[in-house]
Amino acid sequence: MQISRIRRADKTSRLRLRHVVAQACSSVQARSARIGARVDSATTPVRVEFESLALGFAVKSGDLNWESAVMRAVYKVNKTTRVENDVETLDAWERAHRQFHLTLVAGCGMPMLLNFCDDLHNLNDRYRRLFLVERGIDRNIMAEHGEIAQAVVARDQPAACEKLREDILRTGNNLREILSTQIPA
């Protein structure tokens, strides 16, 4: 946006224009937080169910190539550095994290279920990224992901699904907490 051009065209003072832009940004952030809170409260429980269902099928029917892909994905996400306020490292970690979650369910062999999981992950991820950029990881996510992957290769379906459920719910609860502080009273 070329603020000086807008200011000249509207004969608006720089201070007034900054005030208007700040109000607009605040309004957009508040609206995004309200929408995000609604989307998250709707998507997290559904995502938990769909991803757990897909992971359960994957543990039962996934082959050695799928197991190997899960171990590669957990290794990559756990080795990818995530530095607070560094967009480049955050993006790299988010890509690795997304790939880990999608790899977990990929072994289910059900394209429609995978599409649902992907869509729900996208909805959840959109708001998580918006509001977690400045917040560091508040738990040992490397250990959590490692436990999920270990349960997968041990073919311990109940443990793998429960660990995945806990991971998604904990993230959803953290997001809901952050979004609630972003919403003006």
| Whether the Cβ atoms of residue 107 and residue 58 lie closer than 8 Å to each other | yes
**Residue 166 scores a pLDDT above 70:** yes
C-alpha dihedral (141, 146, 147, 149), degrees to nearest 10: 130
Return the HEC string of 45-65: HHHHHHHHHHHHHHHHHCCHH
CATH of the structural domain 3-182, one choice from 1.10.10.60, 1.20.120.530, 3.40.1010.10, 3.40.50.12280:
1.20.120.530
**Global model pTM greater than 0.85:** no
125 compared with 159, residue with greater pLDDT: 159
Measured at the CA of 135, the angle between CA 133 and CA 138, to 5 degrees, comes to 135
Closest-CA residue to 168 (of 3, 45, 21): 45
CB atoms within 10 A of CB 157: 17
Comparison of pLDDT for 136 and 152, the residue scoring more: 152
Q: Rounded distance, CA 8 to CA 52, Å?
A: 57
